[in-house]
Homo-oligomer: A and B are copies of this chain.
Amino acid sequence: MFKDLNPLLHSQLRLAIMSLLIGVEEADFVYLREQTGASAGNLSVQIDKLQEAGYIDVEKTFRGKMPRTICRINRVGIEAFNEYVQALQEYLNKRGMNK
């Protein structure tokens, strides 16, 4: 009855990152930090995990002289996110549907 929830996505911060990335072409570290309110350390760790999972692509560049980390969600990530959302619905729905 309850599908497993992808543990990589069932994490507040990683879910927020994915949620932001799925809406945009790309987003950088600072933007993600601001939007999520996460600490830089936590964000760094969670971005790594999403990258290692193959859900996002991370590009390290410089803007002028300052380092800049750009993140993009990819097709694998989009698919995983959609599957996660679908699985989750079962947990949220719905009084009386006992199937």
Q: Does chain B have a CB within 8 A of A30? A: no
Question: Do A91 and B22 touch across chains, with their CB atoms under 8 A apart?
Answer: no
Assuming A2-B16, A10-B10, A85-B92, what are 19 further A-B pairs, CB within 8 angstroms? A1-B35, A2-B12, A2-B19, A2-B35, A2-B36, A2-B37, A4-B12, A5-B12, A10-B12, A15-B91, A19-B90, A19-B91, A22-B95, A23-B94, A23-B96, A23-B98, A24-B98, A88-B88, A88-B92
* Closest CB in chain B relative to A56 CB, distance in Å: 16
Instruction: List the B residue with the shortest CB-CB distance to A15.
Output: B91
CB of A30 to closest CB in B, whole Å? 15
Give min CB distance, A59 to chain B, whole Å: 21
Beta-carbon contacts of A53-85 to B below 8 Å, as 1s and 0s? 000000000000000000000000000000001
